[in-house]
Structures are given as structure tokens and as C-alpha cells.
Chain A
Amino acid sequence: MSLTILFLAAFGLALVGFQIGRARGRTLVATSGIAAGTAARARIGAVHSRPNYHGSFVALLALAPALVVLLGWSFISEGVLTDSVLASVPAAERPETSLDRTSFMNEVRGLAAGEIDEPFDLATIPASRVYAATQTNYNMLAGAVAATLAALGGFWAYSRLTPQFRARNRVEVAVRWGLMLASLVAILTTLGIVLSLIFESLRFFQMVSPIEFLFGTRWSPQTAIRADQVGSSGAFGAVPLFWGTIFIGAIIAMLVAIPLGLMSAIYLTQYAKPSVRKVLKPILELLAGVPTVVYGFFAALTVAPRVRDFAVWLGMSDASSESALAAGVVMGVMIIPFVSSMADDALNAVPGSMRDGSLAMGATPSETVKRVLLPAALPGIVGGILLAVSRAIGETMIVVMAAGLAANLTINPFDSVTTVTTQIVALLTGDQEFDSPKTLSAFALGLVLFGITLVLNIYALAVVKKYREAYD
């Protein structure tokens, strides 16, 4: 009997508990001493909670212990099973290293599930029978324990159901805890990701000094697999990557996105008629819904060749087809709706009386925008731009497709540069060993990227928030 079925059974039991509890609740209402025809007012207080709450209370008390047992079992079952299977294997055939044990157990599981027909290690055949039998036994046991606890919980809950019993309040408490657990999942997952980034980065920094990583200017992550291999010494100076990321995401993309985004926000908030705004604004925001991979191949296939042609026309004969300019410009276009909608919000948050006051002084609309509205909205706009930068430097697809892999430290926008995200993709794609500095460097890069975007986001949100309070 598999764990899935056990879980389903637990929910089934809870459903039964719900029905019984609700029926009990209905009986309580019916027999609460109020004859039919009495005023509704009297009936409301007679039974404290509605029958549905009685049902939910029983269901919860049946479900909770069963889920705890089954979840606990599902976490420890693999360990317990491995121990008993290995104990059944004759000592001579028992795998010794942890790596061997893992592959041995993989074969055992595959055999037991019928996914493998002929195992590499013949000792796994009897072991798999032990595995299947033990698993069934243990699962039966866990199922029995869970069912017993569910029944006990259910009966205890049922025995407490009286007209005065405050089932609703208990159910509300359970709901509150459930909601809190749900929000914890996201937080704990993020925490887990950060911790894994940190620990893997620490492993990396044991092999490569952080000084070299943060300040070195040569990036060549290919390490030698054989001692006599040529040109694969491995260099982990990430400065060219950081520079490429900033060059594309924070400089070129922003040179495109900030003026265009700001100007479209100014047009939409100050000049456009409401009917025009109603059409243009959603269209602009649609840009944000285009999948980044579409921007990516637009950058790689449409923009990049034209940029190269332009560079050749300018006299750069060795112009690369993967340029910082192509990736940056397309990324800037992608970011426009982001900047524009943040600027739009900021401009709209400036009270209309400022605008009226300026116009009444005889200022033209453009003077009003330049001298009153933009200065007043500046903190919000800056916050929006910082968020946009943080988004741009974390963006992956466009740069993977259009920016190239050459870690050049250059300010020539027609040259190929590479970014942190591109390198992470390149480092982790394909068959990789997970203990070489090459792969581990991806985690260090990820950690740096995470740190930068985190700081940018916190700062930007603080700026935006402070500004919003100013006009409340």
C-alpha cells in the first residue's frame, strides 16, 4: 500500500468525520428544546455553532493526527527501509561507500517498482524483494497507527459536541494556523534557497579565494579534467561578469528604458486625453506580458545582426554578432512598461492641486511637468528605476540568447560581453560534476546577484514607501 493511498485514506476518513459531526450538529439543533414555531431569535443562541462547524471540528481532529503520523513516516521511511534492506544483504555483498550505497538502493527501488528488469548488481534482486515486503509491512503499520489516531481524535471530538460547545471558535483557530503555515512555506523555501546558495558558495570559496572571485578580472571557468589538458587552468575573476551585467542591465537598458518610460508616463498622465490613455496604457502594459524568451530571440535574430551591420558600417570590421548593445536595447524595451508604470503611479500621486497651482501661475504644461511634477514625483520615480535595474540585472533569457559568453572587460557596446546570469546558465547546463569549482562558482555568482538585487529592492521599496507617506 503506497503512501499516496494512505494520505488519500486519511482525507477520506476526515470527510466521513465531517459528515458524522455535521449530522450530530443538525440533531443538536433539532433537539435543542425549541419546538417548531418558536421565534427565530430564541433558536439562534440555543446551539452555539452551526452544524458545518461541528462537522469541520470532527474532521480536523481526525485529520490532524493522521497527517502528522503519515508525514513523519514519509520523511523517515526511506532511511528505515534502507537500513533493513542493507541488513538483509550478506556482509560480503554489502556496498561500502555512501556513493555505492546510493546506487545500490536506486537499483533496489527500481526493481521493486518494476522499472528495471536486469540490475547491474545481482545482489539487488533479493534485496528488492526484502524492500518491497518491508515497505508494505511498514506502510500497513503506519496506516494502522494513523487510522487509529484519526478514529480516536474523531471520537473524542464527537464526544465533545454539545449545544454549548464552541466549535466555530476552534475551527477558526485551526484555519488561522493553516493560513500561517501556508505563508511560512514561501518564507521557508526562500530561506532554504538562500542557505543552499550560502553553503555551496562557502564550498566554492574554499577552493577559490573570495578576493580573486570578487576582484579578479579574468574569467575562464573551464578547469582541467586531465592533468595534461591545455588551456584549462580555470580563472574565477568575476569582475568582467559583474561589469557585463551592469553594462547591459543598468547602463544600456536604462539608457533606453528611463527616457522612453518617463516620457510615455508623462504623456499618458499629463497630455493624453482620457480616451487615448484608456487605449494606450493597457497596450504598453501588454509589453510586460511578452515572455522574455520572445524578447530573447527578437534580440538575437532581429536586433543583433542589424547592430553588427551598423558596427561594420561604422568601420569596426571585427564586430561581433553578439553585442552588449543588442541585448541591452532589447532589455531596455522590455523594461519600459515597468519604468513607465512606476513613473505613472508616482506622477499620479502628486496632488492635482500642485498642477493647478502651477498652471494658475501661468506655467505651460511642460514647465509644470519639469519644475513641479517631476521634482515632486522624483523619489517615486527613482524607486521605480531602482526596481527596474534590479529586474534587468537578474534577467536571464535575453542575455543568454543575445549577449554571448565571452567575458570581455570592455566599454565598447558593439563588443560581446557576458553577464552573471548567462554564466550561471552556461555553468550548470549539461552534464556537470557538482563538486568542481566550475559548477560551484555558479552558486557564488547567484549569491552575489541575489545580494545585489535584494539590496536594490529593499532600498527602492523604502524610497517608494517614504515618498507615498509624504502626501497622505
Chain B
Amino acid sequence: MNTNNAPPPVGSNQPPKMTARGVNVFYGAKQAIKNVSLDVRADEVTAFIGPSGCGKSTFLRCFNRMNDTVDSARVEGEIKLDETDIYAASMDVVQLRARVGMVFQKPNPFPKSIYENIAYGPRIHGLAANKTDMDGIVEGSLRRAGLWEEVKDRLGESGTAMSGGQQQRLCIARAIAVDPEVILMDEPCSALDPIATARIEELIDDLRGKYAIIIVTHNMQQAARVSQKTAFFHLGTMVEYGDTSTIFTNPSEGRTKDYITGRYG
């Protein structure tokens, strides 16, 4: 790997949780991501912003290899989780996804009870030895997602019967339940109303430090509120990457400035 490709180091001095170097993504013949490199730190929230179709969601999905489920997608370059190449043949995608969780744009609870939604991941990964363990995991995850008080008396009810904001927090709790190291969030608030959005943003802030979080958003205020690092994407390239405060107050690239001031997007 050409070290010249690496972005300038920013922030703390501990090694980055995930690193991307020279990543290209193709859908068939079309290139969706062009030579992107960045570091994700374990104690920070990293935001990907950019106009629709800029490739930020595609890039996010490289970090847990969700692009594998798209037949025509092809990923080049190197993405490492704690110094291990996640695209290496030795990396098992099941274990990778247990370590790198994901929350989707539209809340997608399973059509099961609230309890079963949370228990799903621990069950398939064999994390609970017995019912008491599982109860503990479910309660802990719901507590961390700030949902416990609202649902503790109706754990048997269907997860799909809750409000959109609750469903999304359920999905975050579901992701937390397998105790991942990284959580990817793909526009987690785009289907929610402002109040539910505020709750999710608070939750993201609470979770910071416990998990490395990467959030894709087209809402610049949200990126400014919740993230410490921001990467701006445009037409498949990463235009600028740095401290959120710098990007939003003093961007070095003209395109970033134009986007942030609402010139396009």
C-alpha cells in the first residue's frame, strides 16, 4: 500500500479502528467510488455527507461487505478492521458483520416480538448460554438504545407495531445486542420526524466512545451536530475529509464550501 495515499493524521494518537486505502467500487462497468482512503477512529463519530448519488452509502456498505449481496458490485482496494483486511479470503463475512453492525435508512425490524428482534443476533452467534443471559442482553441493549423504559412491559408485542422512531431505536438496539465494535448508520433519520430524529441523535452521542460509528447523512446540520470527523463525497470521490468543525467552518475545497452553503445538493 502506498502510504502517500493515507490522509493526514488527525485527532488522537491511538491507531484507527478501520482504515480504507485506495477503495474503488464498481457496479458492472460503472464506477461508483473512486480511490477513496480514510481512517475511522474508535472513539469518534465519522459522518459521510454529500449530494444524492455521490456514493456515500455505497462506500459505507464496503465496511461490512454488504455490497457482497449485490451481484454486479465489485470492490477494489483495501479495508482493514484492526489491521485485518476484511476482503481477505481468511475473513469470514459472518464474523465481520457481528463486529461491524449496521442500521438502515428505513427502520426494518423483523416481524417478530420486540424481545425476539433483539435476541436475533445473540441467538445466531450463540452469545447467550441460557434464558437469563438472553434476558440480560435484551435488557442491556434496550437500555443502551434508550428504549427500555418505553417497551419493558410489552416485550412480547410485535416490533413492527411501534412508531417509526421507536422502530429505528429498536434496530439500533438490535445492532448493539451482538456487542459490535463498529456501527454503520445509513441515513438512520431520513424516514423519521424531527422529534424522533433528535432522540436518535442523542442516542448516537450517548453511544460515542463505546462504538466506532460511521453515519451517512444528507442532513448537514445533523453531521455538524453528531460527528467529530466529516468526509464530503461528490461524484464518487472523497473531496475533503477532516475535523467536522473545520469542514463546516473553514473548508479547504471550493466544492465543499459550495455544498455546505447550499449552492447544490
Contacts and interface: CB of A to CB of B under 8 A. Distances in A.
A30 B89 CA distance: 82
Contact of A357 (B96, B104, B125): B104
B71 A359 contact: no
B108 A357 contact: yes
Interface residues of B, number: 27
Contacts of B64: 360
A121 interface: no
Contacts of B93: 362
B10 interface: no
B97 interface: yes
Contacts of B95: 362
B121 A361 contact: yes
B40 to A, nearest CB: 17
B97 A354 contact: no
A362 B108 contact: no
Residue from B93, B121, B124 with most neighbouring chain A CB atoms (10 Å): B124
A361 B71 contact: no
Interface stretch (A65-73, A128-136, A367-375, A414-422): A367-375
Interface string B121-164: 10011000000000000000000000000000000000000000
Nearest to A364: B94
Contact of A361 (B106, B111, B112, B120): B120
A379 to B, nearest CB: 10
Contact of B97 (A351, A355, A362, A375): A362
Secondary structure call for the A interface: helix
A273 interface: yes
A381 to B, nearest CB: 14
A358 interface: yes
Interface residues on A, range: 20 to 34
Contact of A354 (B71, B102, B110): B110
Given A354-B110, A375-B111, A359 B69 contact: yes
Given A356-B69, A359-B66, A371 B120 contact: yes
A376 interface: yes
Interface string B223-260: 00000000000000000000000000000000000000
Contacts of A354: 108, 110-111
Contacts of B212: none
Contacts of A351: 108
B66 A362 contact: no
A358 B94 CA distance: 11
B124 A367 contact: yes
B98 A362 contact: yes
Contacts of A364: 94, 124
A274 B70 CA distance: 11
A44 interface: no
Interface in A315-357: 351, 353-357
B204 interface: no
Given A360-B101, A361-B101, 10 more contacts: A273-B71, A353-B108, A358-B110, A359-B69, A360-B104, A361-B97, A361-B175, A367-B124, A375-B111, A376-B110
Interface of A: 273-274, 351, 353-364, 367, 371-372, 375-376, 470
